[in-house]
Structure 1
Amino acid sequence: MLRCSDAGVFYHGRSFNSELSGRPLHPCAEIGGRKRYPLVLMLEPLFRCNLACAGCGKIDYPDETLDQRLSVEECIGAAEECGAPIVSIAGGEPLIHKDMPAVVAGLVERKRFVYLCTNALLLKKRMDDYQPSPYLTFSVHLDGNEHRHDESVCQPGTYQRAADAIREAVAKGFRVTVNCTLFQGEGAEEVASFLDECKALDVEGVTISPGFNYERAPQQEVFIQRRASRQLFRDIFRIGKERKAKWTFNQSSLFLDFLAGNQNYQCTPWGNPTRNIFGWQKPCYLLVSEGYAQSFNELMETTPWDKYGVGVNGKCDQCQVHSGFEPTAVNDTFIHPLRALKVALLGPRTEGPMAPDMPVSPPPQGPSHPVFPLRVER
């Protein structure tokens, strides 16, 4: 029913043997003497974007901030400082960055697996600036079917432009995946149909998770709550089983099982550390008002990790996003490989009781930051 790229010993669509170049990642193994270690570097070279999405909390900054960029040297330096084998380049819209081809080339030269995230509005125009490589994947933002996606990004016609760019990229030999965020009001049938559309586009896989309720997002009502999200994913996976659909997810089988309410995971924020124009963001990619470290080591050593997580911090209680919970699922895959294999073969369980959730904390009251009018690059 479901093909999980990470079944057993895979992460983000490729085997650990190839991606980690022999680096041990078993949680009980010695990993350079470090208790905490990164799997994916979340690199944000800019916050400027050419869309203003309803659920985005990344572009609410004044123009002087939106005009800043990380240099090629800073981007490459962050990857080397962090040491993660995978680099996910987000933003903002990375294709706006005039030096992005040089950033990608430098990372590929160092054999980092690069996921270049994009809304694809500029992809056809900029595609020839890049070379197909097993180390480079375009991760295209599509939040559901045409109606749902265009509504989510607040701009008609965006879905079709992205789909056209995907077809061209695949035809030219590029690796392409889809990054999908689900919001309030999604129906299981429409999501299932969207996954069929992704299969028809011939992408390598889909990364899917519920949206995180960013404090800075312009429309707070769009976010789906944890219990409703779990039931939604159960319904989606049930439809997939009934249809015998051959969807491919660019995620671990146990993370999908977690989304369906069958695993009770705490997040692993240091698994996907974030470097952006302000420094190394504490504690994770999603919380944008908790401060910054000036080096990766400072991030790891000074962040109060025990003050974050579901049931610990009210800002975290509704989160089920892959950047926080996928590293937990990957570690659990090593600890329970047979369990992961069973889920990969049979799909997540869609009936019966869900795993008990952690008690939640009181939600934070009001925004803890200045609010700026949204500005987009046209």
Structure 2
Amino acid sequence: MALPLNLTLKIGTYLVKQKLRRREKFPLIVEIEPLFACNLACNGCGKIQHPASVLKQRMPVEQVIAAVEECGAPMVSLAGGEPLMHPKIDVMTQELLKRGKFVVLCTNAVLLPKHLHKFKPHRNFAWMVHIDGLRERHDESVSKEGVFDQAIEAIRQAKAAGFAVYTNSTFFNNDSPQDVIDVLDYLNDDLKVDMLQISPGYAYEKAPDQDRFLGVEQTRQLFQKAFSEGRRKKWRFNHSELYLDFLEGRADFECTPWGIPSYSLKGWQRPCYLMADGYASSYQELLDTTEWDNYGRGKDPRCDNCMAHCGYEPTAVLATIGSLKESLRAVTGR
């Protein structure tokens, strides 16, 4: 499935500019974490394990804007923690939209109905709701009953109000191909969300449950079976075709960790969202002082089973623009 035309054009124009400037390293998306606090305690995360003094902190809007403008990425993912717990998240979103950014606000959606009136539909804005399976599986993942139903109702309210709604689903080693099929069919066909994003579970170092993450071969087998019988083509994925090929094992890439940098209350995280090997005070410092060649499969054992989109989607996108065939495939979704 092709990306929305306005987003495809925005990214395409940006990439052409980077090529003309002969920049070797540049961000496609910047992930901003304006807080670590959350109203849930998910098994595959660990943000709320920060000290109470850190969990109380909220990043000023001006600091967010400065970080986004410094790195220059055309897309911004507002994450956390739970962004809707930030008292200025609506102002933050508005300021980024004014600057021509495509903004995705990631949320577990529990607080969405309460805050929906603060936002207005915009062609460059989408909600990204985390749905990690159908009711039983999702509620187990977030360690709280009833959250799935709350999230689904919030999605319906947001769509009825005219917003674009994406979903993000993470799959673990206790998920079967049928689990993947069932939730994606429900989100795509029944709930009719605008875009689906998926990710194989990776061992985020602060996650309380470290025994549920997928290895490379497990990931390939899972998505090969889930994508079979034409299902991949019908699902409205928020991914490049080459990244989906990568998940199936039909293509292989090296990681591009600088492609989706993460900025939080601690600074620019080295080398990526999933690994915290220190922090840089500026994006340029992150680029200049991180030993990028030390990361990736065969270089750092922590990277050996990672197939997460934060590292490999940028590689797939860059490979797409380097091929006329793949560029046409990106536009048509075929």
Secondary structure of 1:127's aligned partner: helix
Distance change (3 Å), C-alpha of 1:170 and 1:305: same
Alignment of 1:116-135 (within 5 A): 116-135=105-124
Alignment of 1:143-182 (within 5 A): 143-182=132-171
The aligned residue for residue 325 of structure 1 is 312
Distance change (3 Å), C-alpha of 1:15 and 1:48: closer
Q: Name the structure, 1 or 2, with higher relative contact order (CA <8 Å, separation 6+).
A: 1
* Equivalent residue letter for 1:218: P
Correspondence for 2:177 among 188, 199, 203: 188
* 1:201 to 2:177 alignment: no
Shift of 1:24: 3.7
Secondary structure of 1:84's aligned partner: coil
The aligned residue for residue 226 of structure 1 is 216
TM (norm. structure 2) is 0.95
Secondary structure of 1:35's aligned partner: coil
* Equivalent residue letter for 2:297: V
Count of aligned residue pairs for this structure pair: 333
* Equivalent residue letter for 1:36: K
User: Contact 1:280/1:293 (CA < 8 Å) preserved in 2?
Assistant: yes
1:57-109 Cα deviation digits (max 9, x unpaired): 33321101111121000011111111000000111000000010110010011
Q: Could you tell me how far apart the structure 1 residues matched to 2:32 and 2:258 are? A: 14
User: Contact 2:262/2:273 (CA < 8 Å) preserved in 1?
Assistant: yes
Q: Which runs of 5+ in 2 are unaligned?
A: none
User: Contact 2:7/2:102 (CA < 8 Å) preserved in 1?
Assistant: no
Alignment of 1:47-126 (within 5 A): 47-126=36-115
Shift of 1:346: 8.7
User: Contact 2:320/2:330 (CA < 8 Å) preserved in 1?
Assistant: no
1:195-230 Cα deviation digits (max 9, x unpaired): 111112121111101011012111111111111111
Q: Could you tell me how far apart the structure 2 residues matched to 1:201 and 1:260 are? A: 25
Shift of 1:161: 0.5
The aligned residue for residue 315 of structure 1 is 302
* Equivalent residue letter for 2:227: F
Q: Could you tell me how far apart the structure 1 residues matched to 2:172 and 2:319 are? A: 27
Shift of 1:26: 7.7
User: Contact 2:240/2:330 (CA < 8 Å) preserved in 1?
Assistant: no
Secondary structure of 1:283's aligned partner: strand
Alignment of 1:291-370 (within 5 A): 291-339=278-326, 341=328
Shift of 1:286: 1.0
User: Contact 1:145/1:191 (CA < 8 Å) preserved in 2?
Assistant: no
The aligned residue for residue 14 of structure 2 is 23
Secondary structure of 1:315's aligned partner: helix
Correspondence for 1:252 among 240, 249, 262: 240
Shift of 1:17: 2.0
Q: Could you tell me how far apart the structure 2 residues matched to 1:19 and 1:110 are? A: 15
- Give me the CA root mean square deviation: 2.0
TM (norm. structure 1) is 0.84
Q: Could you tell me how far apart the structure 2 residues matched to 1:329 and 1:212 are? A: 19
Q: Could you tell me how far apart the structure 2 residues matched to 1:113 and 1:345 are? A: 21
Secondary structure of 1:17's aligned partner: helix
1:305-338 Cα deviation digits (max 9, x unpaired): 0011111111111111111100000011112231
1:86-136 Cα deviation digits (max 9, x unpaired): 000111000000010110010011110000000000000000011110111
Distance change (3 Å), C-alpha of 1:244 and 1:229: closer
The aligned residue for residue 226 of structure 2 is 236
Identity of aligned residues (%): 44
Distance change (3 Å), C-alpha of 1:15 and 1:109: closer
The aligned residue for residue 207 of structure 2 is 217
Secondary structure of 1:208's aligned partner: strand
Shift of 1:190: 2.1
Distance change (3 Å), C-alpha of 1:115 and 1:15: closer
* Equivalent residue letter for 1:247: W
The aligned residue for residue 265 of structure 1 is 253
